[in-house]
Chains A and B, each alone.
Chain A
């Protein structure tokens, strides 16, 4: 049994955000973190490992420095890591990314009792599309927005959060779950884990490694395989300071101001 976890290294949005002249993010100048929802996915996989002894494989697509993030996840307790990295994959949108990650997961191999975990969405793109797309492309049943998992043999009973309630969904393995932060509290790296993480296996899947997968074609990956076109990216201007109304009749004062601006 395996738990395969898809993770993404994202800019730390609590720090400063830099945009290049062509409208894409200047990722090199920004501090990076592991996407928070993905940490919940990793924790869910590690809890499955604690309960069943299964193997935990973490997978990311990104530039070579993403290895640092994978090492940290190995230090938390994952067993091996796969870095999907190649110039051919650059510029991929969610469609092309899920195409490539699905091929990578195919190469790792999905057995009958395996579970693929993803975070709900990444804090940089906020699309929540990659997880569901991977499931479709791998022909796996999927449950999104998972806030609780009960395992009963090869059946998982998941609590799927909705805006105004939740559903209980029963799903057979192999399957794909997208996790939300309410699912768990991610553990820290341990000292022992850190001193082991550089000797745990780390594989790199480049274009050569994946090109024989039917999902990988010139027009399904990278910029060419991405139907999304970014029209414009910009740093939104900062809002000005608010105005405090301190008179005895603030409502009347507010109406006066809005009327003066011809807003009401």
Chain B
């Protein structure tokens, strides 16, 4: 497949592959088994500019492009799904909304430290009672006029990177709006919260099925006081900000899913050439060949969607007035389903060995599943796509 990658994109891809092979792959099994956040890998990635790939140099970014970022998530996820999502959540869900919605002062304060990797970023939208129904927010932010501070109360769950993050984008209710027909709804806004803010704490660490090295925790805000200027974007436009942020995030998760599927196929191709049954390698059986063929075709189809969504977001970054919402939803829907399907079929080709933890396939299968769930389930992606069709 030829995506007309630029000279620079071909070189970053080469660097990512060397880095993934030498620095990420050797840790993947340990990170999973011990549920250990790979802090040392994040530090190494930070040195190479991988924590701020597509942000301008002016803000400490590497000055690259969206596809170069997507390829970073893809290449890391080929060998370790945990490492892939650390970059994705940090970049798409924290640095990106600050870059796209922040005031000049907010950008100056947060982006250089996020891009250099000195600070890690996270995003808090989901609550115990507000998953797909994201408007059912129960976290409230009230402005204390005397101190000029926002006071936040509530909790968030399933927050990626939470245990190690320094900066959080928090979505909260700031009031009630009444539409023309007199119907009331919540007014939602976005805030930048720092780990050290008073009243803010990180709670339970989730024990998960996959991406076990990723730090997924609860966030608790008890009279959490933050300066007034930490409001991100316009008051009352927080829901739209969150949805737009997730459009970008979904391209990252789609890239993670794509990478997991590609990594599983690579492992399987090597395995079926080695594994002998009935006196020959199992690669010589037509069942194996057809399985590989169909998986490759599905992966390539997913790759087209993921790269196309990345290119469309790039066009928006370059000033085009288009939406990549549907493109991102399609990419995530197809790539995540491909990842689950491919890892499952790869494990079948590995047979009993695939079911053991000595081989990476069961880990890849567990890692794949989350891509159908977080940053919008597959069902949410279908709501986005069909919503646009029937508008």
- Can you name 24 A-B pairs with beta carbons within 8 Å? A71-B11, A75-B11, A75-B15, A188-B15, A188-B18, A189-B11, A189-B14, A189-B15, A190-B49, A191-B12, A191-B48, A191-B50, A191-B53, A191-B62, A191-B68, A192-B63, A193-B49, A194-B11, A194-B64, A195-B8, A195-B63, A195-B64, A195-B68, A197-B8
Whether, in the assembled complex, B164 has its beta carbon less than 8 Å from a beta carbon of chain A, the answer is no
A251–B292 CA distance with the chains assembled, in angstroms: 48
Cα separation A194 to B64 with both chains bound (whole Å): 9
**Are B18 and A198 in touch, CB under 8 angstroms?**
no
A217 close to B (CB within 8 Å): no
Question: Is there contact, CB below 8 Å, between B11 and A190?
Answer: no
Q: Is the CB of B11 within 8 A of A192?
A: no
A189-B11, A190-B48 known; A195 vs B62 contact (CB < 8 Å): yes
Q: Which residues of A contact B50 (CB under 8 A)?
A: 191
Q: Does B19 lie at the interface of the complex (its beta carbon under 8 Å from any beta carbon of A)?
A: yes
A71 CA to B8 CA in the complex, in Å?
10
Majority secondary structure, A binding face: helix
List of A residues within 8 angstroms of B61 by Cβ: 192
* Residues of A contacting B57 in the complex (Cβ-Cβ under 8 angstroms): 192
Select A190's contact among B14, B18, B62, beta carbons within 8 Å. B62
A113 CB–B CB distance under 8 Å? no
Contact with A along B11-53 (1 / 0, CB 8 A): 1101100110000000000000000000000000001111001
User: Top 8 nearest A-B pairs by Cβ distance?
Assistant: A191-B49, A191-B62, A192-B62, A192-B49, A189-B15, A194-B11, A190-B48, A190-B49
Which residues of B lie under 8 Å from residue A75 when comparing CB positions? 11, 15
Q: Is A206 an interface residue (CB 8 A)?
A: no
Return chain B residues, CB-CB under 8 Å to A12. Answer: none
- 8 Å CB interface, A179-214 against B: 188-198
In the complex, residue of chain A having the shortest beta-carbon distance to the beta carbon of B115: A192
Cα A190 to Cα B11 in complex, Å, equals 10
Contact bitstring B44-77, A, C-beta under 8 A = 1, else 0: 0001111001000100011110001000100000
CB pair A191 B64 closer than 8 Å: yes
Interface string of B253-277 (1 = CB under 8 A from A): 0000000000000000000000000
Contacts of A188 in B (CB 8 A): 15, 18-19, 48
How many chain B residues touch A (CB < 8 A): the figure is 20
B7 located at the interface, meaning its Cβ lies under 8 Å from any Cβ of chain A in the complex = yes
| A-B interface contact total, Cβ < 8 Å | 52
Number of interface residues of A (CB under 8 A): 14
Q: Is A136 an interface residue (CB 8 A)?
A: no
Chain B hits for A189, CB < 8 A: 11-12, 14-15, 48
Closest to A76 in B: B15
Give the interface centre of A189, A192, A194, A196 by most chain B CB atoms within 10 Å: A194
Bound CA–CA A204/B61 (angstroms): 31
Which residues of B come within 8 Å of A, CB atoms?
A: 7-8, 11-12, 14-15, 18-19, 47-50, 53, 57, 61-64, 68, 72
Q: A189-B15, A192-B62 given as contacts; is B47 within 8 A of A198 (CB)?
A: no
State whether the Cβ of A79 lies closer than 8 Å to any Cβ in chain B: no
Q: Is A148 an interface residue (CB 8 A)?
A: no
CA separation between A227 and B303, bound complex, in Å? 54
**Inter-chain contacts of B47 with A (CB < 8 A):** 190
Q: How far is the CA of A194 from the CA of B65 in the complex (A)?
A: 12
> Do the beta carbons of A198 and B48 come within 8 Å of each other?
no
Within 8 A of B (CB), among A215-264: none
A71 contacts which chain B residues (CB < 8 A)? 7, 11
What are the residues of chain A within 8 A of B14 when measuring CB–CB? 189
Q: Which chain B residues lie closer than 8 Å to A191 at the CB level? A: 12, 15, 48-50, 53, 62, 64, 68, 72
Tell me the minimal C-beta distance from B22 to chain A in angstroms: 9
Give per-residue flags for A54-79: 1 if the beta carbon is below 8 A from chain B beta carbons, else 0. Answer: 00000000000000000110010000
| A75 and B48 alpha carbons, distance in the complex (Å) | 11
Q: Which residues of A contact B19 (CB under 8 A)?
A: 188
Please give, as numbers and ranges, the residues of chain A lying within 8 Å of B63 by CB-CB distance.
Answer: 192, 195-196
Nearest chain-A residue to B54 (Cβ)? A191
Residues of A within 8 A of B11 (CB): 71-72, 75, 189, 194, 197
CA distance A261 to B204 in the complex (A): 73
Distance between Cα atoms of A214 and B68 in the complex (Å): 48
**Smallest CB gap from A72: residue in B:** B11
A191 to B57 CA separation, bound complex (whole angstroms)? 11
Q: Which residues of A lie under 8 Å from residue B48 when comparing CB positions?
A: 188-191
Report the bound CA distance from A71 to B48 in whole Å: 16
Interface centre among A190, A193, A195, A196 (most CB of B within 10 A): A195
Chain B residues with Cβ below 8 Å from A190 are: 15, 47-49, 62
Residues in chain A near residue B68, CB distance under 8 A? 191, 195
> What distance in Å separates the Cβ of B347 from its nearest Cβ neighbour in chain A?
30
Q: How far is the CB of A117 from chain B (nearest CB, A)?
A: 22
